[in-house]
Amino acid sequence: MAVDGPTVRVRTTQPDGVLGHLLRAGGAAGLTVRDATATPPNLQTAFLTLARRDYTP
């Protein structure tokens, strides 16, 4: 998980249902969620995952 001001990014290898859990947790904590997006990995992310490297732009 990475926090950059009001933006929170969560990476997972098991994406099914994660977005829903995050939205419910944010709501339960009294947070206002303005936007939520699930983004599939691109080729660069897949390569870095297979090479066991991390890259944060």
pLDDT tens for 12-43 read 878 888 888 988 998 899 988 888 888 887 88
Q: Given pLDDT bands bounded at 50, 70 and 90, which one contains residue 47?
A: confident
List Cβ neighbours of 38 (8 Å cut-off, separation of 6 or more). 15, 18, 19
pTM for the structure as a whole = 0.57
DSSP type of residue 54:
-
Residue type (1 letter), 31: L
As beta bridge partners, residue 2 has: 9
How is residue 37 written in tokens?
């997006």
Where does the chain have alpha helices with state H? 18-28, 43-50
How many residues are given for the chain? 57
